[in-house]
C-alpha cells in the first residue's frame, strides 16, 4: 500500500524539470512526456482528463509547444496545494 503525502504545485514542477532535464546524463523522455508521466504518478485524475485532448503534452518536444503550455495552464488551474496527494 502506498503512503500519500501532500505535494505542492512547485514541487511537482521541480520533479518534472528534474525528469526532463537531468543534471547528469540525457533524458530519455521528451519534455511533454516527462510532464505527462509525472502527472500520471502524482495526479492520475488530471492526466486522464488531459489524455487525447488538444492539451495532451505527451508528444511535445519543447516547452514552447502549445500543447505543453495548455497543459501547464490546465494543471495550474486545477491543482489544489491543500489536497493533492502523492504516492
> The whole model's pTM is what?
0.83
The distance from CA 42 to its chain's CA centroid, rounded to whole angstroms, is 8
Residue 66: count of CB within 10 angstroms of its CB? 11
pLDDT confidence bin for 83, thresholds 50/70/90: low
pLDDT confidence bin for 1, thresholds 50/70/90: very low
pLDDT, tens only, 7-64: 899 999 999 999 998 888 777 899 999 999 999 999 999 999 999 999 999 999 999 9
Measured CA to CA, the distance from residue 87 to residue 66 in angstroms comes to 29
Amino acid at each position: 500500500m502506498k503512503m500519500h503525502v501532500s505535494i505542492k504545485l512547485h514541487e511537482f514542477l521541480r520533479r518534472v524539470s528534474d525528469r526532463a532535464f537531468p543534471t547528469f546524463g540525457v533524458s530519455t523522455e521528451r519534455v511533454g512526456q516527462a510532464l505527462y508521466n509525472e502527472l500520471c504518478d502524482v495526479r492520475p485524475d488530471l492526466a486522464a482528463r488531459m489524455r487525447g485532448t488538444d492539451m495532451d503534452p505527451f508528444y511535445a518536444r519543447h516547452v514552447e509547444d502549445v500543447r505543453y503550455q495548455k497543459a501547464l495552464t490546465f494543471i495550474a488551474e486545477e491543482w489544489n496545494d491543500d489536497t493533492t496527494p502523492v504516492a
